[in-house]
Amino acid sequence: MTDFKEINDCPITTTLEYIGGRWKTIILYILGNRTLRFGEISARIPAISRKVLTEQLKQLVNDGLVSRKKYNETPPRVEYTVTDFGHSLKNVLDEMEKWGLERKAEKINATK
């Protein structure tokens, strides 16, 4: 591992400033190449509260990883899509998915 004089010099810290926390990577993974409404995202992550989902989406939008499009309709409709900048994390998310699938397979094989 590389030694860094300050945590701010660490590239992992920079990455985690964007996707750190429990939900951001999951939201990005669920959105993938799709456009989804708030309720659709919420339904795919039942363990997250509406308040926390709102906060996480707001942060992802503010960081430029996700775009938010509000339609002037009644009832209001808002859609979320991963931006090109957000898609630059695809390889990171793919590797996380691969690693997670391998760990799940190990657990399954260990219980047989």
pLDDT per position as a tens digit, 49-82: 999 999 999 999 999 999 999 999 998 899 999 9
Q: Contact at 8 Å (CB) between 64 and 83?
A: yes
Listed by start position, the domains of the chain span 7-110
- Closest by alpha carbon to 46, among 66, 71, 26? 26
Topology of the domain comprising 7-110: Arc Repressor Mutant, subunit A (1.10.10)
pTM for this prediction: 0.86
Alpha-carbon gap, residue 42 to 85, rounded angstroms: 23
Model confidence over 29-56: pLDDT tens digits? 999 999 999 999 999 999 999 999 999 9
Q: Contact at 8 Å (CB) between 27 and 45?
A: yes
Give the SS3 label for residue 102.
helix
